[in-house]
Structure formats: structure tokens, C-alpha cells
Amino acid sequence: MSYQPPHTGGYGPGAPYGGPPAGGPPKNYLVHNILGIFGCTIIGVIGLVFSLQVNSKWEAGDYAGAESAAQTAKVLGIIGLVSFILAAVLLVIYVLIFVVAFGAAFASM
């Protein structure tokens, strides 16, 4: 039988067996997903769930799961943030049209 080196979890040569990778937990994109709730509620809530899973998985020792949750939270956070910005722009346009239309109507009375 040949010698099998211990598995380091694929986190680089400096990571001890079963230990966390260097650098701490990944970014959880919590703010992006909170703002995403106001743009697209479903995507924001799902992204928020993944954001909240990042730190708990990291502390439980599931480093690959934490990285995966962080990547999912990032994608959903970006989608939610874009939808939030789009909703804000559309609201401003709607208000401007409303003010111009009713301003002209009241000015002619």
C-alpha cells in the first residue's frame, strides 16, 4: 500500500487539516439583499436567506458551503440591487410626469 497524504480540504498548502482557509469568512452581501427586497421582494428575500447562511456555515466548519452561499448571495444581491435602482428611477419618472401633467392642468384653471 502506498502512502496517502492527509486531505487538507483543498484550501491551500497552509491550511491545517480541517481548518478554515486564511482570510476569514467570505463577504455576505447583506446590504445588497436588504435593498433588493425593495426592488424585487422574492429575489431580495431569497438572497437575504443566503446572506444569513454565510456566517453560520462558516462558524459550523462548512467552508465550501459558506463560499457557495456567498456566491449565490452575491448574484441575487446584484439582481436585487439593479431592480431596486430600476424601481427608484421609474418612481422618479412617474412622479415627474404626475407633477408636470397636474401642474399644467392646475395652471390653466
- Judge whether 24 lies within some domain: no
For residues 24 and 10, what is the distance between their CA atoms, to the nearest angstrom?
16
Residue 48: the pLDDT is 94
Residue 104: the pLDDT is 73
Grade residue 107 by pLDDT with cuts at 50, 70 and 90: confident
In the block, residue with C-alpha cell 439593479: 82
- Judge whether 17 lies within some domain: no
pLDDT in tens, 39-94: 888 999 999 999 999 999 999 989 999 999 999 999 999 999 899 899 999 999 99
pTM of whole model > 0.75? no
Residue 72 contacts residue 50 (beta carbons within 8 Å): yes
- Judge whether 68 lies within some domain: yes
Residue 60 domain boundaries: 30-107
Q: Is the pLDDT of residue 17 over 60?
A: no
Nearest to 31 by CA among 6, 55, 12, 48: 48
Number of structural domains the chain divides into = 1
- CB under 8 Å to 14, separation ≥6 — which residues? 22
Residues 21-28: what's their mean pLDDT?
86
- Judge whether 15 lies within some domain: no
- Judge whether 93 lies within some domain: yes
- Judge whether 53 lies within some domain: yes
- Judge whether 46 lies within some domain: yes
| Set of cell numbers at residue 47 | 438572497
Nearest-Å Rg of the Cα atoms of the chain is: 23
For residues 104 and 74, what is the distance between their CA atoms, to the nearest angstrom?
45
- Judge whether 37 lies within some domain: yes
